[in-house]
Amino acid sequence: MKKRRIFYGWWIVSASATLNFYVGGTFFYGFGAFFDPIRNAFGWNRTTVGFATSLQRLQGGVAAPVVGVIFDRVGPRRLMLFGTAVIGLGFILLSRIDSLWAFYLTFLVLSLGFSAASVPVATATVANWFIKKRSRALGFMAAGFGASGALVPVLVWAISQYGWRETLFFAGIGAWLIGIPLSLLMRHRPEQYGYLPDGETSPSAAMEEESPSEIDFTTKEALRTRAFWLITLTYTLQVMVTSAAFVHLITYLSTLDISREIGAFAVMGMTLFSLIGRLGFGWLGDIRDKRHLLAIASALQFIGVLILAYLTSAWLIIPFLLFFGPGYGGSIPVRPAILGEYFGRKAFGTIQGIVFALTLVGSMLGPVVAGWICDVTGSYRPAFLLLAVVSLAAIPAILAARRPRLSR
- 241 SS3 class: helix
Answer for the pair 246, 306: CB distance below 8 angstroms, yes or no. Answer: no
The stretch 69-92 carries a mean pLDDT of 92
pLDDT at 215: 77
Q: Which amino acid is at 63?
A: A
Task: State the average pLDDT for the chain.
Answer: 86
pLDDT at 198: 81
- Would you say residue 288 lies in a domain? yes
Total tally of structural domains belonging to the chain: 1
Pairwise pLDDT comparison (4 vs 216), residue with the higher score: 216
Q: Kindly report which listed range (127-141, 241-255, 286-300, 387-401) carries the lowest average pLDDT score.
A: 241-255
Range of the domain at 186: 8-399
pLDDT at 220 over 80: yes
The stretch 174-195 carries a mean pLDDT of 90
Question: Which CATH number fits the domain that encloses residue 184?
Answer: 1.20.1250.20
pLDDT at 209: 45
Backbone angles phi, psi at 41, to 5 degrees: -65, -30
Q: Provide the pLDDT confidence category of residue 208 given band limits of 50, 70 and 90.
A: very low
pLDDT at 141 over 80: yes
pLDDT at 248 over 60: yes
Q: Kindly report which listed range (3-17, 52-66, 235-249) carries the lowest average pLDDT score.
A: 52-66
pLDDT at 407 over 70: no
Q: 250-283 pLDDT, tens per residue?
A: 888 888 878 777 887 887 788 788 889 999 999 9
- Would you say residue 80 lies in a domain? yes
- Would you say residue 98 lies in a domain? yes
Q: 111-140 pLDDT, tens per residue?
A: 889 888 888 899 999 999 998 889 999 999
- Would you say residue 340 lies in a domain? yes
Q: Kindly report which listed range (122-126, 194-198, 212-216, 242-246) carries the lowest average pLDDT score.
A: 212-216
> CA nearest 106: which of 158, 151, 59, 155?
59
Answer for the pair 117, 84: CB distance below 8 angstroms, yes or no. Answer: yes
Rounded CA gap, 135 and 150, in Å?
Answer: 24
pLDDT at 207 over 70: no
Answer for the pair 326, 280: CB distance below 8 angstroms, yes or no. Answer: yes
- Would you say residue 1 lies in a domain? no
- CA 181 to each of CA 19, 47, 77, 81, 231: distance values in angstroms, whole numbers, following the listed order: 10, 37, 10, 9, 34
- b vs e for 111-130, b when ≥16 Cβ sit within 10 Å of the residue's Cβ? bbbbbbbbbbbbbbbbbbbb
Pairwise pLDDT comparison (333 vs 407), residue with the higher score: 333
- Would you say residue 3 lies in a domain? no
Q: 160-176 pLDDT, tens per residue?
A: 899 999 999 999 999 99
The stretch 189-205 carries a mean pLDDT of 75
Pairwise pLDDT comparison (149 vs 206), residue with the higher score: 149
Q: Which letter does DSSP use for residue 194 in this model?
A: T
pLDDT at 259: 79
Q: Kindly report which listed range (144-148, 168-172, 390-394) carries the lowest average pLDDT score.
A: 144-148
- Would you say residue 206 lies in a domain? yes
- Would you say residue 406 lies in a domain? no
Rounded CA gap, 77 and 179, in Å?
Answer: 11
Residue ranges in 118-163 assigned as alpha helix (H): 119-129, 134-147, 151-162
pLDDT at 3: 54
